[in-house]
Structure 1
Amino acid sequence: MPITYIASCDNDPVCDAVESLLSQNGDVVRVTPKAVGDLRPKVTDCLVVGLGGAEDAYQLDLLDFGLVQFAGCRPPGPILEIAASGRIKIAGISPVISQRVANRVTGFTGPLPTIPIGDWGVVGLGTVGTDVARRAVANRSKVSIAEIRTPRSGILSELGVRRNSLDLLVAGSDVVTLHVHAGPTASPLISERELKLMKSDAVLINTSDTSVVDELAVEQALRSGDLSGYATDCPGPTFETPEESLVSAGKLVVTTNPLTNQIGAPQQIARFIETNLKAFQSGGQVQGLYEPVDFPVAGDPSFWSSRMSPRQD
């Protein structure tokens, strides 16, 4: 009988909910992240990876599992590297949290000095970016997207958006919102160069990862007036303790409350994970798979961008 292993530290509400749900109908074993390397799984076994624990515990110990299901919003770098290799199926939770991300992004525009019904630039057109773009269009904003891969047929006309290179997008948008995974081509994706291309009255929103934005450059741009506002729920060292003068001026909005802690989120995510595991074990369609990403070819609009990164699927 297939076994589902849950690797997480204590006090992980999502993994607690997953364990409670799965233990009713299957064989579930909970381990610490560092114990993953001691497991001897079969190709029919699954691993649910929680938020806590040392990232290096996952670097070499995943390949024997049939499916690795990450239970957090931002997968550790080693997990993305293995996913990019195509050697194993690794899934995230974007399909179940994309609406929550869209709500948060929209909420960020409240305290920020945004232009009403302005031009939006959405970087990354995966599940999350698609829902954010759809929400912006519904609010009567004009939306551009930057995406490293050719979007699926019909999605641009379906959403009513246009595609640009990253440079053109940041230069022409009143709101730039980032929805990509961390990676070598996005460390950072928005640097001093891209900030200088942006309008001085534009705002930047980052719900992707600390590494995709050069925080020191953002702080300098906020102070100098070259950037009107910045909002993030994944602050790095520069914004972990927000500068009060920037906050009080309405230029900086920072939250460290993960979406997985919202009311009802752990149970909702647990049900999604249960469905994904059942789909894998029955040979069905697993949702939220991380896909290997190639660089665009010449002639593709993203080819002329300074750099791009895998979208958040």
Structure 2
Amino acid sequence: MTTVFLLADNSDPVSNAAESLLNKSVSVRRISLEEISEIEFDSSSVLLIDNEMADSLAADALPTSGLIQFLGCSPSSGLLNHSASSDTVIAGISPSIAPRVANRVIGFTGPLNVKVKPTWGIVGLGEVGCEVVRKVTATGNSAAIADVRTPRSGILDELGVRRKSLDLLLSGSDVISVHVHQGPTATPLIAEREINLMNSDAVLINTSHTSVVDEAAVISALENGGLAGYATDCPGDVTAEADQSLADLGKLIVTTNPLTNQIGAAQQIAKFIAENIDSYATGSPVRGIFQPVDFPTAGDPSFWSSRMSPRQD
């Protein structure tokens, strides 16, 4: 029998919606950070955890078996590292929120000064990246992708896009949209060197994580004309404190409204979570699993691309 534990803030809308829905079929037990070390998780256990708790929880306190279902948009580095060092199945909500992220990305191009029929560069071909590509190409625009992994068989033909190295993607795109997790290949992924590869009339969109973009380099490029615009829904201190004139000129677009706060989002995500738990319990494929990112090998396009190349430590 599946046992579900919920480690989340009482005000989190997704966790509340998930608890309400799941309680109709299974018993959900809310726990605190202090209690988690006292619980014996096994292969039938499910831990639901939100952004705040995942950021506060020590990596060695995470279960080493069962299913961890992350409830937020951007997983902590500890959670991602745990996926690479344990047998625990760790899943996110990307399959559920991908269309909402894609709509936000497309929406950012309205206030930004984007040329007519721009060429798009999508960095990261996970659930969200694929959905952005579909939205972009549906409007008749062209797109290419860059990813540290070799894409799954057939997906490029399905989407109608080509894969490029990150450097080539940056130098040949009018709009660059980043969709990757924080981690060893992306801290930051876009820094001064990468920005210098972009055209001065290009715009950059980041809906991933603050750490994947060097915000100081971005703000500097916006101020000196090296970059036409930057839009993000995950701003750090540098972006949040940037000169208001950049926003007034339409060069800097920032939103801090989480996608999970949108009307109907929490209920939609809760349904996805319930389906994932049911799949795990019955041995069916779980969607949105976090997978460790391996460094590319020689011959892979990403081998030669910027910070996606192997470390030489």
Q: TM-score, normalising length from structure 1?
A: 0.96
> Judging changes above 3 Å, is the alpha-carbon distance between structure 1 residues 163 and 54 closer, same or farther for their aligned structure 2 residues?
closer
Give 3-state SS (helix, strand or coil) of 1:184's partner: coil
Q: By how many angstroms is 1:165 displaced?
A: 0.5
Contact 1:198 1:227 in 2 (8 A): yes
Q: Which residue of 2 aligns with 1:195?
A: 195
CA distance in 2, matches of 1:223, 1:263: 36
CA distance in 2, matches of 1:209, 1:54: 15
Deviates more, 1:54-63 or 1:259-268: 54-63
Q: Which residue of 2 aligns with 1:245?
A: 245
What's the RMSD between the two structures over aligned residues? Answer: 1.4
Q: By how many angstroms is 1:134 displaced?
A: 1.1
Any runs of at least 4 consecutive aligned residues in structure 1 with deviations exceeding 4 A, and if so which? none
Q: Which residue of 2 aligns with 1:50?
A: 50
Q: Which residue of 2 aligns with 1:285?
A: 285
Query: Within the alignment, does 1:149 sit opposite 2:149 as a pair?
Result: yes
**Which amino acid in 2 is paired with 1:262?**
Q
CA distance in 2, matches of 1:47, 1:167: 39
| 1:164-243 pair list within 5 angstroms | 164-243=164-243
CA distance in 2, matches of 1:66, 1:101: 29
Q: By how many angstroms is 1:86 displaced?
A: 4.9
Give 3-state SS (helix, strand or coil) of 1:275's partner: helix
**Which amino acid in 1 is paired with 2:21?**
L
- The percentage of aligned residue pairs carrying the same residue is 54
> Judging changes above 3 Å, is the alpha-carbon distance between structure 1 residues 219 and 158 closer, same or farther for their aligned structure 2 residues?
same
Q: TM-score, normalising length from structure 2?
A: 0.96
**Which amino acid in 1 is paired with 2:27?**
D
Segments of structure 2 that go 5 or more residues without pairing to the other structure are: none
Q: By how many angstroms is 1:2 displaced?
A: 2.3
Q: Which residue of 2 aligns with 1:130?
A: 130
CA distance in 2, matches of 1:279, 1:297: 34
Contact 2:64 2:87 in 1 (8 A): no
Contact 1:33 1:54 in 2 (8 A): no
Residues 155-188 of structure 1 deviation map (CA, whole Å, 9 limit, x = unaligned): 1121111111001100110000000000022110
Q: By how many angstroms is 1:64 displaced?
A: 3.6
**Which amino acid in 2 is paired with 1:81?**
N
CA distance in 2, matches of 1:176, 1:34: 42
Contact 1:34 1:57 in 2 (8 A): no
Q: Which has the higher contact order (CA 8 A, sep 6+)?
A: 1
Q: Which residue of 2 aligns with 1:11?
A: 11
Give 3-state SS (helix, strand or coil) of 2:57's partner: helix
Residues 98-129 of structure 1 deviation map (CA, whole Å, 9 limit, x = unaligned): 00000000000000011111110000001100
> Judging changes above 3 Å, is the alpha-carbon distance between structure 1 residues 131 and 290 closer, same or farther for their aligned structure 2 residues?
same
Q: How many residues align?
A: 309
Q: Which residue of 2 aligns with 1:115?
A: 115
Q: Which residue of 2 aligns with 1:307?
A: 307
